[in-house]
Each structure stands twice: as C-alpha cells, then as structure tokens.
Amino acid sequence: MQTTVEPATVKTMVTDEMIRKAPKVELHDHLDGGVRPSTILDLAREKRMELPIDDPESLAAWFHRGADRKSLALYLEGFAHTIAVMQTPEALERIAGETVEDLAADNVVYAEIRFAPIQHLKEGMNLELVVEAVLRGLERGKAATGVEYGLILCAMRDQDAAVSLEIAELAVAYRERGVVGFDIAGDEFGHPPKRHLDAFQYIRNRNFNITIHAGEAFGPESIWQAVQICGAHRIGHGTRLIEDMVTHGTRIEKLGSLSNYLRDRRIPFEMCLSSNTQTGAAESLDSHPFNIYYRNGFRVVLCTDNRLMSDTSLSHEFSLAVKHFNLTFRDIEKLTINAMKSAFIHYDERVRIIYDILKPRYAKIREETNPYD
Ligand SMILES: [Zn+2]
C-alpha cells in the first residue's frame, strides 16, 4: 500500500535557513573582534597604516588563521590590528553602527556588545569620548535596524587595578545611556580577577551588573573567584568548569560544589564554540562541554565572542550546535529565551522582548516549517 503524506504534516529537520531566520540574542560579542575587513582596510588606508594584506577576503582569512592556534594569548594578537584603526570618534561610531547592521542581517534582535575603552586613547580621545562615540554608533544602528542593544565596558586583566576601577566608574556613569554592565577581559593565565576587587566592589555597591571571562584559559578556580570573590552575575565561557564534574557521555555522575552552586543559582554561561576550539579551551567541537551543561540543566547561552577572528556568526554557532549536539528547533528557541532572560537590561524590557518578539517569531517559523520538535 502506498502512503502519501500531506505537505503540511511533513516534519522538517532544522535547516541553516531556519536558524538564520530565527530571532536571536547575542550576549558576548567584542566590538574589536567583529569589525568588517573592508572597514579595517578603509580606515587603515586613511591613516596610512600598513596591513599585511590589502583585500577584504584575504584579510579576513589572515585574521582567522591567526586566531586558530590553540592559545588564548595567540588568539588575542590579531586585536592589535583592529584596535589600531579604532582610535577616532568617527571610526568607533562607524564600527559600532556597522556591528548592529551585521547583527541585524543575521536576525539578532538584542545584542550586548563589549569593548575595553582604555585601548582607544592612543590618538587623543578620553574615556568619555570613546564611550560616547560607540554609543552614538550603536544608537544609529538601532535606528536603522530596530536591533536593541546594551553596551558592556571591559577592564583588562593585565592592567593596573586603578584603571579597572576607573572603567567601573565609567560604566556606572553611563548606565542611563546604554551601558548595561562591566567585564574583565584579556589573557586569563597569570592575571586573576581578584586583583581588580575594588572595581567589582564599586559595581556591586552601585547595584550594577558584572560578567567575567573565566574558565577559558584557566580552570574552575578562576570561575570560583569570578563568582564568589568578584560577584559575577554571568560567566564568559565557563568551559573548564567541566573539570569540576565527573561525567559519562553527556550524563553527569557527580558535580563538584562549585558546579552545583552555579546550576542551582542559574548563573548563565556565555558559551562560544568556535572561539573555544580555536583558543584550545576545548579540544574539539564534539568534546566541547556545552552539550553536557545544556542537557543537565545549566543556564547556557550560545555566543560568537569575535565574529571576525573566529570566522563566525550567531547563526553559524547555532548551526554547529545543531550538527554536533543534535539540537532541535525547540532547543534553539529555549537557548534564545535563556539568553534573553540572562541579559543585563531591566526585567520588564527582557519580558517585553521575549513575549512581543521572540515567542511570536518562533511560533511563526514553527508554523511555516513544521519542525520535528
Ligand atoms: Zn570574550
């Protein structure tokens, strides 16, 4: 007997097109790690700066090769070239605006962009001018695309603790104008966040938000410090928390007290699959602990880290997760809602984006494509 299936009842697997169309939320995207190669070339030409390559595609490939060397310190080398062309208000405004446009093209509806203002003072700007230029660019991008944003200001791990405090004060000073939190970035090894305690204490005293890069190039100790000493509300990466668990496949046999604490408290992990395999924080995608965390109820979120250096987009990160970890369309929706719940904008704004934008748009794609789950 022949069976015929009506098109409306045909179940579909998740496709790259569905992922691209799905509304997404980005919480960990470095401004200086996602610059358009063509913009780097334009700005370098303007200031007569030498670059190793002079066409956009080869330049992008050059950045990817530099990033993919299994070391966070080597991964970070490429940033010297992007930061070099981000030293004027015009350049910062342009790059911030283009960042929002690029995210919009990938159907990101809310994004938290981060950068370290201290790295943009080489040609005479002060910290306030730097932050205002980036905010102008983000606002312009929002006006053009409707993408909502929050800006996170980063201090650098290897810098003086007094500078970190200054950046923390800057973040709080701009909290009514688009800055939503404070982070500490840079090479983790040998630069523990607890050195910057005054900055974190300042942020906490002002009831503001903290995320900290931890558990990327260093183990659970770094994550413990970030949460328990510095007061992080979210963790950037958290990849090496896996060392605080006993696992069998994707099943957890035993959690250490830190892992239990993070799961119980619903502390979000901003996880970046491509970046982690390139820096060596994870050996391969298949062995990346994201899947173990996700299947066992940790609050995980997928992010890009650096779209240029890591040759990625948020859609690409989801596509990798679908291929390697069998995520369904419902998983993609859940991870996106997790991200929005974990955002640093206020609760009422998060709820509005979840119910007015994310849920209706997922429902519509579900209706159009009839995915398995
Ligand atoms: Zn990062």
How far is the centre of ligand 1, averaged over its atoms, from the C-alpha of 341 (Å)? 20
Residue 92, Cα to own-chain centre: how many angstroms?
Answer: 19
89 domain-assigned: yes
User: What is the total residue count of the chain?
Assistant: 373
Residue 331 CA to residue 157 CA, distance in Å, equals 34
33 domain-assigned: yes
Residue 3's pLDDT is 53
Residue 332's pLDDT is 98
Residue 345 CA to residue 175 CA, distance in Å, equals 10
From the candidates 112, 216, 270, 317, give the one annotated as an active-site residue. 216
Residue 24 CA to residue 300 CA, distance in Å, equals 14
Could you tell me which residues are beta bridge partners of residue 210?
182
270 domain-assigned: yes
Nearest one of 226, 248, 116 to 171, comparing CA atoms? 116
Residue 215 CA to residue 276 CA, distance in Å, equals 11
Which amino acid, residue 152? Answer: I
Surrounding ion ligand 1 within 5 Å at CB are 305
pTM: 0.95
CATH classification of the domain holding 295? 3.20.20.140
How far is the centre of ligand 1, averaged over its atoms, from the C-alpha of 286 (Å)? 21
10 domain-assigned: no
Residue 85 CA to residue 356 CA, distance in Å, equals 38
How far is the centre of ligand 1, averaged over its atoms, from the C-alpha of 178 (Å)? 20
Number of neighbouring beta carbons within 10 Å of residue 117: 24
7 domain-assigned: no
98 domain-assigned: yes
* Radius of gyration in angstroms for the set of CA atoms belonging to the chain, rounded to a whole number: 20
Residue 76 CA to residue 87 CA, distance in Å, equals 18
How far is the centre of ligand 1, averaged over its atoms, from the C-alpha of 28 (Å)? 6
Tokens of 4: 């015929």
By residue range, what is the domain housing residue 133? 15-369
Residue 5's pLDDT is 47
How far is the centre of ligand 1, averaged over its atoms, from the C-alpha of 214 (Å)? 9
How far is the centre of ligand 1, averaged over its atoms, from the C-alpha of 368 (Å)? 35
How far is the centre of ligand 1, averaged over its atoms, from the C-alpha of 115 (Å)? 9
How many structural domains compose the chain? Answer: 1
How far is the centre of ligand 1, averaged over its atoms, from the C-alpha of 185 (Å)? 7
128 domain-assigned: yes
9 domain-assigned: no
Annotation marks residue 368 as catalytic: no
pLDDT per position in the chain (373 positions), as tens? 555 545 446 788 999 999 999 999 999 999 999 999 999 999 999 999 988 888 999 999 999 999 999 988 888 888 999 999 999 999 999 999 999 999 999 999 999 999 999 999 999 999 999 999 999 999 999 999 999 999 999 999 999 999 999 999 999 999 999 999 999 988 777 788 788 999 999 999 999 999 999 988 789 999 999 999 999 999 999 999 999 999 999 999 999 999 999 999 999 999 999 999 999 989 999 999 999 999 999 999 999 999 999 999 999 999 999 999 999 999 999 999 999 999 999 999 999 999 999 999 999 999 999 998 8
